[in-house]
Structure 1
Amino acid sequence: MTLAPYASDPSRSRGRRHAEGGRTTRGPRDDFQRDRDRIIHSIPFRRLRHKTQVFVAPDGDHFRVRLTHSLEVAQIGRTMARALGLNEDLTEALCLAHDIGHPPFGHAGEDVLEAAMAEAGGFDHNAHTIRLLTKLERPYPRCDGLNLTWETLEGLAKHNGPVAKATWALAEADGEFPLELGTWPSLEAQVAAIADDIAYDNHDVDDGLRAGLFRLDDVLDVPLAKQNWTAVRARFPDVPQVRLLPELIREQIGAMVNDVLAETRRRIVEAGVANAEEVRHAGHALAGFSEAFATDERRLKRFLYARMYNAPPVQAVRKEAQRVLAGLFAAYRDDLRLLPSEWQPVEASPTAALRAIGDFIAGMTDRYAVRRYEELVGPAHLPEGF
């Protein structure tokens, strides 16, 4: 496939922090393909199968977890990248790795680590993604991290836009391999970010319906859902309603993707960008929803916050999960000897100790965090159901 002039070209990559010359080539892959493959084969990526998306340690086999969410984001991202003439492999790498820095219990766990590590600079899952991929993972004999290309690290660091004030973890990584945090990222990174929104907007509706947190009639109070449901019913007037719920999700994803493609093409033409560097200095996002569609999408998000993310059954599980993680952090803080030897702080300082504990806990899966809590502190009482 021929790349658009504003796409990221692996032959023009800014390279990797550590040179990799002098070894046998392992298959006919370019640099971005290698990045994607390194992420897929990494231990942090495998751990995503037991990390919370919305529901903590879900009992149901059909609910999303971080791994399945990341795969769905990658599918949507690749589709849009191909349509726009962008680099599909870089887009996929960014989609697959965008949540790799999440601690156990999702955003609930992140809130706990942010508070527990406040005296050491706090915790941010985006920054921890970079820390994992540049420092903590060590699959190679001569360097720390996965030694990913500049473009992949840049996209992960600022896929949500320029970083005005970097947290300690991101600032540390940026100091060793500058990522131009003040500029916009590549179009591939921007597409990965909007693919994330599209995926969780729609798949959370699906999971919420499956979990019984709301009914279809509740969802249809949202104008965007109502519009797409009307189109689905018109195409399949004689099919039972229950058979059409997956079709609603597909219809809505398609509508969102089509709007992003049309709006992104419009912005690219309007901005007149001729290459990837001009994308970074365009001064605003080039990939995104149209203004009208963005308004409708925000209404859908408000519905999900009210009826799903903040629903009493979900909040009850989240509260207990936070108690577990806070108790686990306190146990390690009170006795650093409980940390495995490879996770002991390298410096004798309070900051180093807090960061070492944070690094270790952030890598845990939900079930491992519960198991360690029960071994070190006491019983966990996660409510059944999610």
Structure 2
Amino acid sequence: MTTRAPFACDPEHSRGREFAPEGVTARGPRSVFQRDRDRIIHSIAFRRLRHKTQVFVAPDGDHYRVRLTHSLEVAQIGRVIARALGLDEDLTEALCLAHDIGHPPFGHAGEDALQAALAECGGFDHNANTLRVLMRLESPYVEHDGLNLTWEMLEGLAKHNGPVLGGPARRAPWALAELDAAFPLDLTSHASLEAQVAAISDDIAYDNHDIDDGLRAGFLTLDHLLELPSLAEQWYAIEARFPGAARDRLLRELVRGQIGRMVNDVLGETRDRIAASGVAHVDDVRAAGRALCGFSPKLQAEERALKKFMYARLYLHPEQVAAADTAREVIASLFAAYAADPALLPSSWQARLPGGEPGRARTIADYVAGMTDRFAIDQYTKLTGRIPERLRNV
């Protein structure tokens, strides 16, 4: 069993849950963070991730990643890093599994459409929406709204990319501000190392698995990848190690090797930062004034170059842009239709619809954001009589 590091989150000393006590004792010998993870896995919002866009919009192919498979891959990487650093693996895994729950259908294209639709009502932010879903909308319990996750879990989801507040120009999105007022999450500090690990595991997963999917779709080629010196160096080393091997296997070896290289770099750099900072408690991590988990300067520069390359070659590929344009039209049309005629909403959503703004628009956005890609397409077709063209791009 891995020894818990002194700066790790300890489930025995959690800051608790928003609604406590819950009235029923824990079912089975689970820590509070294990219960958080299990609540995520059993949630409807988590199941919906299987039909939400990761990179390719509404993919027909069975082998392309979606938000669900991406989240599982992030969790696998996160657990490896957490175990090596002596952190709480269950909290890390729960954060990894939940980090994308707030994404609307069609990924960032859907988010852009909802941001525009809510421009006069506070806008839309997928990260804040993750907290809104888990703290208010996903409500399987009789005693309270939401999943009633631990403070450490919610803090990590709110701040895994760093402090939310801290300067005159930095304000929490409205959804997060409302939730923070009800259950303060200390938005001015950094989050735990478990949350920082979840964030960088997300980067490692999509940096490399998007390469795999891009190659599968034909949007990326080996020649494209060799434009990056770091990938070219690894490719030639793999060719020398496995002479005569099939190219498709060599490409998968490249992706696997890149993930391992990034994980090892994070472990080395994070250990150095921890040692230099002298943190001895999780509160020291929050007060450190900087992220303690990260890439080394050399690999960080390579990773930035990789992201720039992926935008140019994959994310902004003409077919991707065309699909995103159609996706924005679908989401904008759905929102407009429900806003104009709330009777089109399911009866349960009509019953909860506030009489005035901004609550009315925000509730409609809650409904649209919870849709899967395929349900949004079906509803758009039903409401408009048109099948959206050029939406599925693989």
C-alpha separation between the residues in 1 aligned to 2:88 and 2:17? 18
1:346 is displaced (CA, Å) by: 4.3
For 2:387, which of 374, 380, 384 is the aligned residue? 380
Q: In structure 1, what is the equivalent of residue 242 of structure 2?
A: 236
CA contact (8 A) 1:331 1:377 kept: no
Q: Do structure 1's residue 65 and structure 2's residue 66 form an aligned pair?
A: yes
Q: Do structure 1's residue 271 and structure 2's residue 277 form an aligned pair?
A: yes
Kindly provide the amino acid, as one letter, of the partner of residue 297 in structure 2.
E
1:191 is displaced (CA, Å) by: 0.4
C-alpha separation between the residues in 2 aligned to 1:37 and 1:66? 18
C-alpha separation between the residues in 1 aligned to 2:66 and 2:345? 27
Q: In structure 1, what is the equivalent of residue 344 of structure 2?
A: 338
Q: Do structure 1's residue 252 and structure 2's residue 258 form an aligned pair?
A: yes
Q: Do structure 1's residue 176 and structure 2's residue 182 form an aligned pair?
A: yes
C-alpha separation between the residues in 1 aligned to 2:189 and 2:357? 34
Q: Do structure 1's residue 131 and structure 2's residue 138 form an aligned pair?
A: no
Q: What runs of 5+ residues in structure 2 fail to find an aligned partner?
A: 166-170
CA contact (8 A) 2:9 2:282 kept: yes
C-alpha separation between the residues in 1 aligned to 2:237 and 2:114? 44
Kindly provide the amino acid, as one letter, of the partner of residue 203 in structure 1.
H
| Structure 1 residues 66 and 245: alpha-carbon distance in aligned structure 2, compared to 1, 3 A threshold | same
Q: What runs of 5+ residues in structure 1 fail to find an aligned partner?
A: none
C-alpha separation between the residues in 2 aligned to 1:203 and 1:346? 40
Q: Do structure 1's residue 347 and structure 2's residue 347 form an aligned pair?
A: no
1:21 is displaced (CA, Å) by: 4.8
C-alpha separation between the residues in 1 aligned to 2:354 and 2:246? 64
C-alpha separation between the residues in 2 aligned to 1:352 and 1:222? 48
Q: With the length of structure 1 as denominator, give the TM-score of the two structures.
A: 0.98
Kindly provide the amino acid, as one letter, of the partner of residue 360 in structure 2.
A
Alignment of 1:40-51 (within 5 A): 40-51=41-52
C-alpha separation between the residues in 2 aligned to 1:323 and 1:226? 39
Kindly provide the amino acid, as one letter, of the partner of residue 389 in structure 2.
L
Alignment of 1:172-251 (within 5 A): 172-251=178-257
Q: Percent identity?
A: 64
Kindly provide the amino acid, as one letter, of the partner of residue 246 in structure 1.
R
1:380 is displaced (CA, Å) by: 2.6
Q: With the length of structure 2 as denominator, give the TM-score of the two structures.
A: 0.96
Alignment of 1:162-173 (within 5 A): 162-164=163-165, 165-173=171-179
Kindly provide the amino acid, as one letter, of the partner of residue 220 in structure 1.
L
C-alpha separation between the residues in 1 aligned to 2:147 and 2:70? 22
**C-alpha RMSD of matched pairs (Å):** 1.1
Query: Which aligned runs of 4 or more in structure 1 are off by greater than 6 angstroms?
Result: none
C-alpha separation between the residues in 1 aligned to 2:60 and 2:67? 15
Q: Do structure 1's residue 320 and structure 2's residue 329 form an aligned pair?
A: no
Q: Look up the SS of the partner of 1:119 in the other structure.
A: coil
Kindly provide the amino acid, as one letter, of the partner of residue 208 in structure 2.
N
Q: In structure 2, what is the equivalent of residue 56 of structure 1?
A: 57
C-alpha separation between the residues in 1 aligned to 2:22 and 2:336? 45
The more displaced of 372-381 and 104-113 is: 372-381
* Count of matched residue positions in the alignment of Structure 1 and Structure 2: 386
C-alpha separation between the residues in 1 aligned to 2:320 and 2:338? 27
CA contact (8 A) 2:377 2:388 kept: no
Q: In structure 1, what is the equivalent of residue 168 of structure 2?
A: none
Q: Look up the SS of the partner of 2:377 in the other structure.
A: helix
CA contact (8 A) 1:321 1:382 kept: no
1:261 is displaced (CA, Å) by: 0.4
Kindly provide the amino acid, as one letter, of the partner of residue 178 in structure 1.
P
C-alpha separation between the residues in 1 aligned to 2:23 and 2:333? 48
CA contact (8 A) 1:32 1:93 kept: yes
Q: Look up the SS of the partner of 1:162 in the other structure.
A: coil
1:59 is displaced (CA, Å) by: 1.4
The more displaced of 47-56 and 18-27 is: 18-27
C-alpha separation between the residues in 2 aligned to 1:231 and 1:162? 40
Kindly provide the amino acid, as one letter, of the partner of residue 37 in structure 1.
D
C-alpha separation between the residues in 2 aligned to 1:149 and 1:10? 9
Q: Do structure 1's residue 103 and structure 2's residue 110 form an aligned pair?
A: no
Q: Deviations over 1:100-140 (max 9, x none)?
A: 00000000000000000111100000000000000011100
Q: Deviations over 1:301-339 (max 9, x none)?
A: 111000100000111111111111111111011111212
1:220 is displaced (CA, Å) by: 1.3
Q: In structure 2, what is the equivalent of residue 285 of structure 1?
A: 291
